[in-house]
Amino acid sequence: MTGTTISEQASVQRIAPLPLAGAEQQALREVWGQTLVELAADYPALVVLDGDLANSTRADIFAAAVPDRFFEMGIAEQNMVGVAAGMATLGFVPWLSTFAAFMANRATDQVRIVVAQPHLNVKMCGGYTGILTGKTGKTHQSVEDIAIFRAMPGVVTLAPADGVELRASMRAMMETPGPMYLRVTRDPSPVIFPADYQFQIGAGVLLRDGADVGLIGTGVQTVRVLEAADMLAREGIAASVLHLPTLKPIDSDAIVALAERTGRIVTAEDHSIVGGLGGAVAEVLGERRPTLMRRVGLRDVYGESAPNDYLLEEYGISAGHVAAAAREMMGRG
Amino acid sequence: MTAARSAEERAPRVATRPSLDDLQRQSVEARKLIIEAIHHAGAGHLGGPLSATDILVALYFDQMTIDPTNPAWPERDRFILSKGHSSIALYTVLAMRGYFPVDELNTFDAAHSRLQGHPDMHALPGLEMSTGSLGQGLSPGAGMALGARLRGLPFHTWVMLGDGEIQEGQIWEAAFWSARNRLDNLTAILDYNGLPQFGWPEERGFTRETPIDDPGAKFRAFGWHVSECDGHDQASIRAALDAARAHQGQPTCIVAHTVKGKGVSYMEGDFNWHAKVPDDAQLAQALAELDTQIAAIGNEAAA
């Protein structure tokens, strides 16, 4: 594990993750609600608009702590986005509380016309991302949200991996004007980032360095990527792990450097392989450094309601699937 | 959260109000500029802009508290043209009011123009919200009205809706939420010209069924204060706008009865003129008819 050039890239960060064994589990949605309260103290313009899901997204934590800046919008996501845009013109910074499926799909045209095109400072948050959504089934799972927001010019698209990164990314969102989309996973996830982690929008994070294969994760799937890297290490395969919490603007230099270093790329996401992380990485490599790659994610299908463990296996997005893709690329499948 | 405001605070913050004849004259002048701009551009909408013209003139010359030399003034009244395809009418009134040179109307729809086909809030001073995909203007208006209340700002927010776009569900999401929050600093003006772009045919070839019957009853059912006016009569428009600003406890919807293509004989009531460009002869006829109308205003005043 020597001679890497990745850490010399200007934007990429090199962080040693906390060990997964015995890691603290944090519920990301609770971190989200608590962080809004923290940010409200520092930013008087912050307001929260909720689509009648506050006790699911945990915007209710904010509603209890800062009631005069919490606005119940009812089950009307299109109006919620429009009201947010109007408030943004007056200098408010609205944070939207709903599920990713509704944020991305129900209100797409409203986001396009009154948030993305005029580039207004609205922070769009999608809870219950991916397919691990508490047995809600395909209607409430979200496998296209990254693709939708990533396709909108000027919309920063974020998918943090754990509670530490979520909290840090929300402060960065508040400090940076402009339309942004934030993925917030429903279920608890192990803490992998140290408490002093500094989040940079657009910067990849190199969590592990190895020359045999480059594994790229986003959101909580990065935890499964780290598990996969451990599995591969036990088999003598040295994997790099690059975490991309920002899907847009994507850290293309970090992706290219990883491809140069390893020659093999596996992406992992709890999202469709069409238009998500895998698609984004393929776009970068196709233009800048054609590299054999495998995309681990939803293979152009919708999910179903079932326990998480079943869904990870059935839809091929477990740590084992990431490791298997790497093995197959190395001719050791 | 709603602090009662005095009658003085709720009155139009305009020093001296123009005469009704002046407003009518400005409206006909605006129609001439609108038709010339569309003829020059060779593209754009006419029916809807002409039905909306008198109301826009009333808002910008008589009702709204604005300062064209300081379009970012925080206390200015807000106006959103939800029926964004009538942009040329708004651009024309903004130019006449001094937001930008009237000559610039000839750049409508051209490359690099600030006068985009549908309003771009960052392209041109005086535009408060980007619109174009129909049914979306009322929600941002509600957001501005809520923001004004939170900030203690005295401005009123006006949103012009088309009667076709109120078929969109978001309008009724916004209607419900605005009434629930008692946004009495918000007024929707419905340009009720009765003709959508294509719609449902009636027996006569160029007329259409009204997109939504009795829209006032529907807004009333959603908790709004509803009034009606003749959208081509400045006295009627003024009374309705003044009353809407003064009404407390509810948002107001003004159902403005209008004629699509108003002011030009061969366009009035014909859905085909929704987005059609007049040829040179048609332009000349339209301008002649409008000049006759201006002359008549003077005669009425003298009589």
CATH of residue B75's domain is: 3.40.50.970
pLDDT at A1: 31
Contact B147 A110 (CB under 8 A): no
Residues B57, B28: contact at Cβ < 8 Å?
Answer: no
Is B182 among the domain residues? yes
Is B67 among the domain residues? yes
pLDDT at B12: 59
Is B47 among the domain residues? yes
pLDDT at A14: 95
Q: What is the mean pLDDT of chain A?
A: 95
Dihedral angle over CA of A97, A102, A108, A112, nearest 10: 10
Is B12 among the domain residues? no
**DSSP run (H or E) holding A94:** strand A93-99
Q: What is the mean pLDDT of chain B?
A: 93
pLDDT at B15: 67
* pLDDT tens profile A224-283: 999 999 999 999 999 999 999 999 999 999 999 999 999 999 999 999 999 999 999 999
Contact B136 A113 (CB under 8 A): yes
* Closest B-chain CA to A49: B143
Interface of A with B (CB under 8 A): 71, 73-74, 76, 78-90, 92, 109-110, 112-114, 117-119
CA A76, CA A83: separation in Å to the nearest integer? Answer: 11
Residue A4: pLDDT above 60? no
* pLDDT tens profile A107-144: 999 999 999 999 999 999 999 999 998 889 999 999 99
Contact B139 A118 (CB under 8 A): no
Active site amino acids of A: 77
Give the range of the structural domain holding residue B111, as residue numbers without chain letter: 18-200+211-302
Contact B177 A113 (CB under 8 A): no
State the nearest Cα–Cα gap between B245 and chain A, in angstroms.
Answer: 19
Is B25 among the domain residues? yes
Average pLDDT over residues A16-32: 95
* pLDDT tens profile A254-265: 999 999 999 999
pLDDT at B6: 59
pLDDT at B204: 65
When pLDDT is cut at 50, 70 and 90, the band that residue A214 belongs to is: very high
**H helices present in B213-279, as ranges:** 215-221, 234-246
3-class SS letters over B285-297? HHHHHHHHHHHHH
Structure token pair of residue B54: 């008198």
- Per cent of chain A over pLDDT 70 is 97
State the nearest Cα–Cα gap between B169 and chain A, in angstroms.
Answer: 9
- Per cent of chain A over pLDDT 90 is 94
Is B11 among the domain residues? no
Average pLDDT over residues A8-24: 85
CA A318, CA B4: separation in Å to the nearest integer? Answer: 59
Q: What is the ipTM of this complex?
A: 0.94
Interface test with A, best of B118, B130, B153, B222 (most A CBs within 10 A): B130
Q: To 10 degrees, what angle do helices B234-246 and B20-41 make?
A: 100
pLDDT at B86: 97
Identify the segments of chain B with pLDDT beneath 50.
Answer: 1-3, 302-303
pLDDT at B201: 84
**DSSP run (H or E) holding B265:** none
CA A242, CA B221: separation in Å to the nearest integer? Answer: 56
Is B205 among the domain residues? no
Is B6 among the domain residues? no
Residues B33, B92: contact at Cβ < 8 Å?
Answer: yes
pLDDT at B131: 98
Which residues of chain A are within 8 Å of residue B179 when distances are taken between CB atoms? none
* pLDDT tens profile A286-320: 999 999 999 999 999 999 999 999 999 999 999 99
Q: Which amino acid is at A317?
A: I
State the nearest Cα–Cα gap between B300 and chain A, in angstroms.
Answer: 43
* Closest A-chain CA to B168: A78
Beta bridge partners of A27: A188
Structure token pair of residue A278: 């895998």
* pLDDT tens profile B134-182: 999 999 999 999 999 999 999 999 999 999 999 999 999 999 999 999 9
Which residues of chain B are within 8 Å of residue A106 when distances are taken between CB atoms? none
Contact B177 A83 (CB under 8 A): yes
**How many A/B residue pairs have CB atoms within 8 Å?**
99
Interface test with A, best of B155, B156, B177 (most A CBs within 10 A): B177
pTM value is 0.94
Number of domains forming the structure of chain B? 1
pLDDT at A43: 98
Residue of B136, B147, B180 lying closest to A114 (CB–CB): B136
pLDDT at A100: 97
Which residues of chain A are within 8 Å of residue B140 when distances are taken between CB atoms? 82-83, 85-86, 89, 114
State the nearest Cα–Cα gap between B182 and chain A, in angstroms.
Answer: 14
State the nearest Cα–Cα gap between B299 and chain A, in angstroms.
Answer: 45
Contact A90 B147 (CB under 8 A): yes
Which residues of chain A are within 8 Å of residue B121 when distances are taken between CB atoms? 89, 118
Average pLDDT over residues A89-101: 98
According to DSSP, the β-strands at A188-190 and A239-243 are unpaired
